[in-house]
Structure 1
Amino acid sequence: MTEPARWPGDAEPAPTSEDPAQWPTGRLLFTVARRIEREWNAHLAGWELNHAGFPVLLHLLAGPRTQRELADLNGVTEQTMSRIVVRLERSAYVTRDDDPRDRRRRAVNLTDAGRRAAAAAGRYRPAEDLTSRGLDDAQAAQLRTLLVAMVRAGREQPGPEDDGATSGRDA
């Protein structure tokens, strides 16, 4: 008989149960996050968007930005942001023009079509419905409070991959 897998540093075997109540919190978060990402991407596909391009449109609502600024805001490399911007250009949601602040750079600008897509795709209710399915109002509010606390804590203390260098994470 094969011995069950063990979590590094644990004396107990890793849980192999199909019952989510037996899973570690990380597995639960990962499973829910992947489901929400798939469903959110399906929602955004109606506007030829995905989870990587949509936040770029939201950042551009505040005005033009360089690709470097967008990469920093989205926690991705400049190379990844370049691919995202190319896709948004193909959908006619953004343009790249001379940056009025620095002629050596290009600024990414939101088009009217991009503004309309951001407004339509970003309606509040669909996002809330995707993330709170199975929860009552009180549970959804509690989840939101906990997630806000986790996001804030992550901003205050860098994780192991946040060593000051630009990482390869995709948005």
Structure 2
Amino acid sequence: MDQERRSADIIDPASPDPAHWPVGRLLSAAARRVERDWNAHLSAWDLNHASLAVLAHLLRSPMSQRELATASGVTEQTMSRVLARMERTGYVTRSPHDDDRRRHVITITDAGRSTFVAASDRELAEALVTRGLTAEQAEQLRRLLVVVASPGSDEPSG
């Protein structure tokens, strides 16, 4: 046991064994795996993680492209590509803003609403992320990720 513990304490970013990776690399690799699995699920509806988030924002209310980009944490150029694809699939519509013809209002369609409900199965999403974990481990992971993801968590405590 002592040998196993010491071996896991060795941090080696180049190691093929994730047990030796720094926390940042582990988190990044885990996020990529989850994103790949989730995108594979969403592809059945011609969606990905970015476009599903757009549908979630638009369920609350119509928004401009700039507002959606800000809410999603991407550039307006990236959002433009996401929206063009979603418009082609019939999930959103763009219409000129009533007061400013240079702006467009993005609105979710009925097809977008029903697709969001079908594609965003919470149990499936949780299962993709927590596969191989006990219920207690999954809850512990959730609590830790809340701390890591929360604003202000980048400040050292002290």
Q: TM-score, normalised by structure 2?
A: 0.85
Give unpaired runs (5+ residues) of structure 1. Answer: 1-11, 160-171
- Look up the match of 1:156: 152
Task: Give every structure 1 segment of 4 or more consecutive aligned residues whose post-TM-superposition deviation is greater than 3 Å.
Answer: 12-16, 100-104, 156-159
- Look up the match of 1:82: 80
Give the percent of matched residue pairs that are identical in Structure 1 and Structure 2.
53
Give unpaired runs (5+ residues) of structure 2. Answer: 1-9
- Look up the match of 1:91: 89
- Look up the match of 2:143: 145
Which amino acid letter does the alignment assign opposite residue 147 of structure 1?
A: L
- Look up the match of 2:60: 62
Which amino acid letter does the alignment assign opposite residue 39 of structure 1?
A: D
Matched length: 146
Residues 63-120 of structure 1: CA deviation (Å, up to 9, x unaligned): 1000000000011110110000001001100000122464442100000000011111
Structure with the higher fraction of residues in helix conformation: 2
Residues 125-168 of structure 1: CA deviation (Å, up to 9, x unaligned): 1100010011100000011111111111xx33789xxxxxxxxx
Distance 1:87 1:15, change over 3 A: closer
- Look up the match of 1:53: 51
Shift of 1:51: 1.3
Shift of 1:16: 3.3
CA distance in 1: counterparts of 2:60 and 2:109, whole angstroms:
12
Distance 1:143 1:40, change over 3 A: same
Instruction: Name the SS of the counterpart of 2:96 in structure 1.
Output: strand
Distance 1:15 1:96, change over 3 A: closer
Determine which of 104, 121, 124 is the counterpart of 1:123.
Answer: 121
Which amino acid letter does the alignment assign opposite residue 140 of structure 1?
A: A
CA distance in 2: counterparts of 1:129 and 1:123, whole angstroms:
10
Counterpart contact for 2:66–2:76, Cα < 8 Å: yes
CA distance in 2: counterparts of 1:133 and 1:13, whole angstroms:
25
- Look up the match of 2:3: none
- Look up the match of 2:71: 73
CA distance in 2: counterparts of 1:13 and 1:143, whole angstroms:
21
- Look up the match of 1:164: none
Shift of 1:33: 1.0
CA distance in 2: counterparts of 1:158 and 1:108, whole angstroms:
34
Distance 1:141 1:13, change over 3 A: closer
Which amino acid letter does the alignment assign opposite residue 48 of structure 2?
A: N
